[in-house]
Amino acid sequence: MSDWLNQVFCEDALAGLARIPDGAVDLILTDPPYNLGKDYGNASDQQTVEEYLRWTEQWIDAALPKLKPNGSLYIFLTWRFSPEIFVMLKQRMTMMNEIIWDRRVPSMGGSVRSYSSVHDTVGFFVGRKDYYFDLDAVRIPYDAETKKARSRSIFIGAKWLEVGYNPKDVWSVSRLHREHPERADHPTQKPLEIIERMVKASCPPGGVVLDLFMGSGTTALAARRCGRQFVGFELNPQYCAIINQRLAALETLEALALAAAPDAPAKPKSEARPKAKAAATAKAAAPAKNAAIKKAATKKAAIKKAAIKKAATKKAAAAPTAAAPKRSRAVKKAPPEEVTI
């Protein structure tokens, strides 16, 4: 049974994880409470340090069996607790990256007794060496100026120049300000840009993403937008309502886009394959054909040029011969007859 797929359950994740079969999830992508005292409509972010770390270990141990052997995990944390939680996860998985999300906080205000904190820490962990990771799906394109600077012959055809570069482990993406069109009524909402990058890189198309702390539902939206499935949990009923509203709005947009798309009846495979094969053959033969056309054009131009030159030479040689008789006729006259007296 897969009635748990593409559902957000309004319940405690520790209780609800029993709904999900073991080894059914490709990616765990979650943003748990940071234990900084925020109000999420419950006391989940207001625990003692010991309670918070013990609770974190509980949900980690309950969630990891749901991952496939080649699955991955991303977890958002604050620097205050990331060392302890990273150690927990390192005892169970392999850590691939510590990603720093630079929130682009304006340079005003902040602490006067320490350096202002303007980043979140994200841990990227995997289960084994053959974990799924699609780098090409998340490459960042080079700008025109960079491509122009790499225009020498040694760079022509270089895949990395065409497809872009590997995202680094510092992601500078602005937080969602109050007027941002993505913004929902949630205090720690994450940008779609960040979540979609994780989904595209670490969950195969059609795969399943699990979020134990859905919040405003950004993970569910990212999964839907990227062609993946999702499952998640959220304690606060108000946030569950927000998630449902966002998913419904996305579904409406998808339906409108589908209705606006021009009708294009699918062609039978028997027709499509010969055409595709012919197109591939024509594409492969194109360089030789173009070379032959160019050679023929060059030969034709050379013949034409030679003919013009020959005609000009012939005309130049014939010009004096044609003028000579005219001059002789003009000088040579019949002598006058002598008169004898």
Ordered DSSP codes for 122-190 = EEEEESSTT----GGGG-BPPPHHHHHHT-SGGGTT-HHHHH-B---SEEE-----TT-TT--S-TTPP
DSSP 8-state code for residue 19? G
In the numeric block, the tokens 């765990």 are attached to 28
pLDDT at 148: 67
All residues at 6 or more sequence positions from 138 whose CB lies less than 8 Å from its CB, including other chains: 167, 197, 200, 201
Take residue 335 and report the two structure tokens written for it: 């002598």
CA dist 271 and 150 (Å) reads 42
Q: How do beta strands 170-172 and 94-102 pair? A: parallel
CA dist 32 and 77 (Å) reads 7
Bridge partners, residue 211, by sequence: 232
Which class is domain 7-105+115-133+169-258? alpha beta
Q: What's the Cα-to-Cα distance from 317 to each of 51, 310, 313, 323, rounded to whole Å?
A: 111, 11, 6, 12
pTM over 0.85: no
CA dist 334 and 331 (Å) reads 10
pLDDT at 293: 57
pLDDT in tens, the chain (341 residues): 689 999 999 999 999 999 999 999 999 999 999 999 998 988 899 999 999 999 999 999 999 999 999 999 999 999 999 999 999 999 999 999 999 999 998 877 778 899 989 999 999 999 999 999 999 999 998 887 776 676 666 666 666 677 888 999 999 999 888 888 888 989 899 999 999 999 999 999 999 999 999 999 999 999 999 999 999 999 999 999 999 999 999 999 999 988 888 765 554 444 444 445 445 545 555 555 555 556 666 666 666 667 677 666 666 666 554 444 444 444 444 544 444 43
pLDDT at 2: 82
pLDDT at 153: 65
CA dist 67 and 98 (Å) reads 20
pLDDT at 277: 47
Q: Taking the CA atoms of the chain, what radius of gyration do you get in angstroms?
A: 38
Strand order in the sheet with 7-9: 7-9, 229-233, 208-211, 25-30, 67-77, 119-126, 94-102, 170-172
All residues at 6 or more sequence positions from 81 whose CB lies less than 8 Å from its CB, including other chains: 34, 35, 52, 53, 56
CA dist 199 and 67 (Å) reads 15
By C-alpha distance, which of 37, 59, 38, 40 is closest to 49? 37
